[in-house]
Homo-oligomer: A and B are copies of this chain.
Amino acid sequence: MARGDIPGATGAKKGRPLSEKTEAAILEATAQLLAEKGLAHLTIEEVAARAGVGKASVYRRWPSKGTLAFDAFESDFLSRQPLPNTGDLRGDLLAALRAWVRTVRDTPIGRTLRGLIGEVQRDPALEGIWRERFMTPVRARHRALVDRAVARGTIPPGTDSDLVMDMLYGAAYHRLLQGHLPLNDQFVRVLVDAVVASIGAVEP
């Protein structure tokens, strides 16, 4: 019998959808609590209570508070920034950076992101987890925009996509963390233009 023919009849696999639902509930409760109190004051007890699960369910999936918090934050962060596909690199980078700026400037996500980066600077045990659970997947998502332009043949095959990411998001994180100048649309436009010019894009 094919799965899904008779809803609820595939006894042995019944646990799976519930498990996904539980996972989603835990991640959402964690993201909420992170925004409300920050990483330092987050407890697994409170996450479990808000998600309506036992502490053991949380620990079965996440070995530590850091792994749970960063997974939850990454999932929340990326869900607010659908990957653009405008047809050219400049348009893609503009759309992606605009979504990033809106997320960190206009929602509580920005304050939480600053707080998490602050914690990571103070606690060496969190560094590797933060890179693995947040920076690496988020960077990979954004770098795909550059790789697509390389595949399209509109920028040179040897383009250093890490450098492109560092110039673009490095500048944006710099303004977020230092607050020396505004994160606004004017900034997004001149930054994207400068970064695209630095690649020597041959796009129209």
Contacting residues of chain A (158-204) with chain B, CB-CB under 8 angstroms = 160, 162-163, 166-167, 169-175, 177-181, 187, 190-191, 194-195, 197-200
User: How many protomers of this protein does the assembly include?
Assistant: 2
Q: Which residues from chain B contact A177 at a C-beta distance below 8 Å? A: 117, 120-121, 173, 177
Candidates B162, B178, B179; contact of A181 at CB < 8 Å: B162
B163:A194 contact, CB within 8 angstroms: yes
A122:B115 contact, CB within 8 angstroms: yes
A94 to B: closest C-beta gap in Å: 15
17 additional contacts, CB 8 Å, given A167-B170, A170-B174?
A117-B118, A118-B118, A118-B122, A121-B121, A127-B179, A131-B179, A131-B180, A160-B194, A162-B181, A163-B191, A167-B167, A167-B195, A169-B174, A170-B175, A173-B173, A173-B177, A194-B198
